[in-house]
Each structure stands twice: as structure tokens, then as C-alpha cells.
Structure 1
């Protein structure tokens, strides 16, 4: 079975320069710590301009890298009127369909300053577009990207909020709590085998101890990667205990939209 066929499916609309009369997309080359990166910018040019800046959303991918799935999410955000930038964490063109390789790629970031620093490089690209209101910026992430969004907020990045979809949970230290400016929305699969109940307990305690403004929503029957329409095929091909859950996908996206309306004060 061709795993990449399914991994890149789902929300993928391709890398065309213009998706429609309204949504503009483009690759953005940048560099961090000597690594050449290529992100993906999406926005609606009928709603957004330098004279009419919009809220910006950084999209941080799953551990597979910057595939068409996070690009598709950026396009969805653009259709909502946001300026979205899907960040590259690994290097231009570096993606994988092999869980072992994905683990190696993601593993170079966990527990290291590089995780927040590389994500911040993507955030800086979003802010540099000149299309974004810097007071209304958020980050969202999937799986590995969800954990990265948390760590980015802990670093003191100028974020109004972060949304983690089926992400690993990273407890906040006292130092992280002191630096954080963001509200948190955690969208969690209730039966995600990658996140143990004791990890949820430890994370929630750190949120309470740090006096975070957070929401933790657990979706019944949802496992890891529940937002990715290609997850079932990936599970079949690789044996990973992941799966798509249409109800949880729809509900978590709706929860994200409500969260954005709150943190961006619905000024758009």
C-alpha cells in the first residue's frame, strides 16, 4: 500500500499559487540555525492586505513533516479570513511516511530549546508578511505540532492563544508559566493510547499550578490523529494505533473557531 497517497490526502488541495479567485497560497523560503526551510502561506486577498491586517495563525505539522495535510489546514484557516502559515520544522522538502524516521526527526526537538526556537522562526515569517495584526496571533498544532505549540507559548512568544489537536502534553514549569501570554485549548482523544491518564493528570496540575487560562476537551472514542482523514490508512499500513474520527474532527474545529472568536475579540 502506498502510505504517502493517504498521508497527503484528506484536506490537500495542492500547492497551486492561487486556489481560487480569493485564496492565495505560496511557498516561503527561510532559514533557521543553518537549516534551509520552506513554509506555506495562505490568505484571502479579498479580505486581507497591509491596510487591512487580519489575525494570524501558525500551523505546526504532525511528525510526518510539512505534508499536504497541514497545508490544507492553512487553506481552511485562510477561508475563515485568517492569515495562516504552515511552518517547516525539519528542512525544505523533508517529510516521511515511516514512523521510525518520523520518530527520529521529531526526537531531535523534544526537551530541547530547538523546539520553540524552530517554531518561533516560522512565527517570525508569519509576522513578517505585513498582513497580520501582531496583537492577534495564535498557533495550532497536530500531534508533535500540538506539543510544539505548547512549548512555543512557554517560551514567551507573542501569542494570544494556542490550540493543540491530539498533541503530546507538555507540563508547564513555573518558569514557563511566568513567561506564557497565551490562552490554551487542548483537543484530546479520550482513548489516545499515546497519552496516558497519569500524563493528563500531571499536565492539568501544571495548568492549575501555573494559573493558566485553559480549556481541556476530551472527545469520546477518539484516538491519536483523530483529525486526519488519512489516519485509518496510515494505521493499516504501519500498525500505528491511530484513526480518524469525523465527529471529533468536526467538533474540535468548531471549538477552535469559538476559541479564536474569543481570543481575537471577534474584531474581524
Structure 2
């Protein structure tokens, strides 16, 4: 399927964000997906996720979280990301700004929008749900961040979460807290633990010299499975005229 892509600039968090908008073939309205990146930021790998979803038939926006930057230095990344993860209003502001871009696209069906994200991007998707945004689905990979007490009750859609069993950044205690939050709020939730996988198991190395944090590592087999699980959630909650196949 032929897709059309373009960069979109928009303000958020005091920065000029630069996202990737991908449109499927045709000219009618389509269900749409927000795609949030990992802590280092938006790179070509994440942009290709938007393209892959557009090939399936979705309008897709891979949104930015660092004003066009992608952090190679893990410590520099953490210096920006950790305060962000501790501030739900900032996360919601970034998410709402991206959502506004997606809603401004004429091809977007405003009543059929999902949010998927990885790490920080997944946490932002969850915060949109906790803020009461009318999403059809939320998927978060390695972004199992619990919210402020009681706010999960505002989530009005299924939530799917994925994490590696050997992820020291999202340890069992954090998984349990996330599960308890979702369960107590009456959310339709699922949690998949990928055996043997570490943090950011879904993202291949950018280059051989890339410095990574301890407990971070790519797992090709589970990366493919997690993508299939996310696409399956979209097929369930944002069905297309033709059922999507694996990207």
C-alpha cells in the first residue's frame, strides 16, 4: 500500500517538536494512532513504525518528546526524562499537543484514535488515558508507570502492556503496582511479560558504538512478538475494513 509521509512541527513543553505523520492510500477518514518514542527520543526506527501502521491503513503520528533531539548519551537522556516522568502535567501537555496535530489531519477519524508508546512514550499514552481522553486503546511497552491515585478510573479503553522479565528498570514490584492500579480502577487491561527480555528489548541498536544503560538490550524474537501484540490490539479496538496483517 502506498503511503504519504511528512514532517510536522508543533509547540509542546516549551520546545518545537518535529513529528512524523504517515497517511495511508486513499482520501477517506481512517482510524488513527499516536506513537510515542523511547526515552532517547524520536529516530528513524520510530518513524518507520508510523509508516508501517499507515501501510496497514491507519493514520499514524510518531510524536516527538525532545524538540527534535535524539540522545546518544544515556545520562544526558535521563537528566531530561526523569523529571518529565515525574510530572504528569508535562507528559499530558506533550501528549495533548501531539493529539491536536493528529486531530487536525483531515484523514483522521476523531472518534477512532489509539495511543501506543515505548518507555517514556508509553507513559505519555497512559497519562492521556488518565486525563480522560477518549481513546479506543492504549498500548505501552516498557512504560508501566503508575499514576496519581484514582486517575486510572478515567481510562475508558482497553490497556495492553508489555515488559521484559529481566528488565531492571521495570522490576516485578513496578509491574505489580501497575497491575493493581489498573485492576482497582476497573480497566480492561492485559500485561504480557516476555521471558528473558531486558529493557528496550523492542529497539535494535542504532550503531555498534552506542552506549546503553545496564539492563538494556535488544531481543529480536520478542520485539517481533510485541509488535504483533500491538497490531492485534489495534485490530481489535480500531478494526479496518480488511483485517491488518503483520507489518
Change (3 A) 1:237 1:100: closer
CA distance in 1, matches of 2:184, 2:155: 13
1:123 is the counterpart of 2:94: no
Is it true that 1:31 corresponds to 2:11 in the alignment?
yes
TM-score of the superposition, structure 1-length normalised?
0.84
Deviation at 1:177, TM superposition (A): 2.4
Alpha-carbon distance in 1 for matches of 2:38, 2:13: 21
- The residue aligned with 1:220 is 195
1:188 maps to which of 145, 157, 163? 163
Distance 1:239 1:199, change over 3 A: closer
Cα distance in 1 for residues equivalent to 2:111 and 2:4:
23
User: Which residue is equivalent to 1:3?
Assistant: none
State the match for 2:129 in structure 1. 153
Query: Which residue does the alignment assign to 1:259?
Result: 233
| Alignment deviations for residues 209-260 of structure 1 (CA, whole Å, 9 cap, x no partner) | 00100111111111111111217946x6345321111111111111112111
Say if 1:26 and 1:266 are closer, same or farther in 2 by CA, change over 3 A.
closer
Aligned residues: 241
- Which residue of the partner structure matches residue 90 of structure 2? 114
Contact 2:203–2:218 (Cα < 8 Å) also in 1: yes
> 1:170 & 1:72 partners in 2: Cα distance?
25
Could you report, residue by residue, the CA deviation over 1:3-62 in whole angstroms, capped at 9, with x for unpaired residues? xxxxxxxxxxxxxxxxxx812111111113542221110122x24x2xx11111111111
- The RMSD of aligned alpha carbons is 1.9
Other structure's SS at 1:36 match: strand
- In 1, the alpha carbon distance for the partners of 2:229 and 2:85 equals 27
Question: What are structure 2's unaligned runs of at least 5 residues?
Answer: 243-247
> How far apart are residue 128 of structure 1 and its match?
0.6
- 1:114 and 1:151 map into 2 onto residues whose CA distance is 10
Alpha-carbon contact 1:225-1:242 (below 8 Å) kept: yes
- Aligned to 1:30, what secondary structure does the other structure show? strand
Identify the residue that residue 9 of structure 1 maps to in structure 2: none
Indicate the SS of the match to 1:151.
helix
Q: Distance in 1 between matches of 2:207 and 2:164?
A: 15
Please give the alpha-carbon distance, in whole angstroms, between the structure 2 residues aligned to 1:186 and 1:142. Answer: 10
Is structure 2 residue 217 aligned with structure 1 residue 243?
A: yes
Structure 1 residues 172 and 32, CA, compared in 2 at 3 Å: closer, same or farther?
closer
- Alignment correspondent of 1:80: 56
Distance 1:219 1:30, change over 3 A: same
- Greater shift in the superposed pair: 150-159 or 212-221: 150-159
Counterparts in 2 of 1:237 and 1:174: CA distance versus 1, 3 Å: closer
| Runs of at least 5 residues in structure 1 that lack an aligned partner in the other structure | 1-20
